[in-house]
Chain A
């Protein structure tokens, strides 16, 4: 199975400041079709997850442009340019290139 490792696991941030989360996979996430199926999801406390980023860097509909994804192969990053109060919660990276699909452990973003 592909192991997804997120760092940090906890990220205390100041509102208005940037935040960054790293996700590393144990093997390349490039699919045989040429795409890389690496997504980022956000789960606010008590809510369902919601998709933020798909295929490394594509923002899903309605996602603010302060969120961006980057990376390739086995190393990926989610960046928030200026953290807002609504951004708190847990962020997960997920790979859907290889079965079984797997998630990172989750990174908790909280306000300092």
Chain B
């Protein structure tokens, strides 16, 4: 069974950093891209960023709202993707989800809550 489990969410102050993890199982992790999404409380879904598979250079794409502050990486040997978040803002408060991506964003995890508050 394909499964992705997000972790690392926490309550942090504005300006601080946090790293989220996305642990995958049930498929060949290295063959797929990984994307991160988020959902602020009571709001809709927002795409955060994307990392291609190693075959495609592990290159990344980011939403303008996080570009320069967030970095996505992956460790295929551990089947884990990471979302390194720095210079966090109050508006980054959201549940963060990761998905595998092979032409479609499937297998959403339960998400991990990041709260940015003074």
User: Which A residues are within 8 Å of any B CB, using their own CB?
Assistant: 35, 37, 39, 41, 43, 48-51, 54-55, 58, 60, 90, 92, 94, 96, 99-106
Interface size class of B (residues with CB under 8 A): 20 to 34
Which of B64, B105, B107 has the most CB atoms of chain A within a 10 A radius of its CB?
B105
- CB-CB < 8 A to B106: which residues of A? 51, 54, 60
Which of A37, A102, A105 meets B103, CB within 8 Å? A37
Contact A94–B103 (Cβ < 8 Å): no
A47 (CB) vs chain B CBs: closest residue = B110
| A55 partner, pick from B45, B104, B107, beta carbons under 8 A | B104
Please give me the residue from chain B that is nearest to A49 by CB atom.
Answer: B108
Q: Is B82 located at the chain interface by the 8 A CB criterion?
A: no
**What are 28 pairs between A and B in contact, CB < 8 Å?**
A39-B104, A39-B105, A41-B105, A48-B109, A48-B110, A48-B111, A49-B45, A51-B104, A51-B105, A51-B108, A54-B103, A54-B104, A58-B104, A92-B44, A96-B101, A96-B104, A96-B105, A99-B50, A99-B61, A100-B62, A100-B63, A101-B47, A101-B50, A102-B47, A103-B44, A103-B45, A104-B44, A106-B44
The interface residues of chain A lying within 8 Å CB-to-CB of B109 are: 48
Type the 1/0 row for B89-118, where 1 means its CB is closer than 8 Å to any CB of A.
000000001000101111111110000000
B64 nearest in chain A by CB position: A100
Inter-chain contact count A-B, CB under 8 Å? 59
**Smallest CB–CB gap between B50 and chain A, Å?**
8
Which residues of chain A are within 8 angstroms of B97 by Cβ–Cβ distance? 48-49
Per a CB cutoff under 8 Å, which of B61, B63, B104 touches A60? B104
- Smallest Cβ-Cβ distance to A33: which chain B residue: B103
B46 located at the interface, meaning its Cβ lies under 8 Å from any Cβ of chain A in the complex: yes
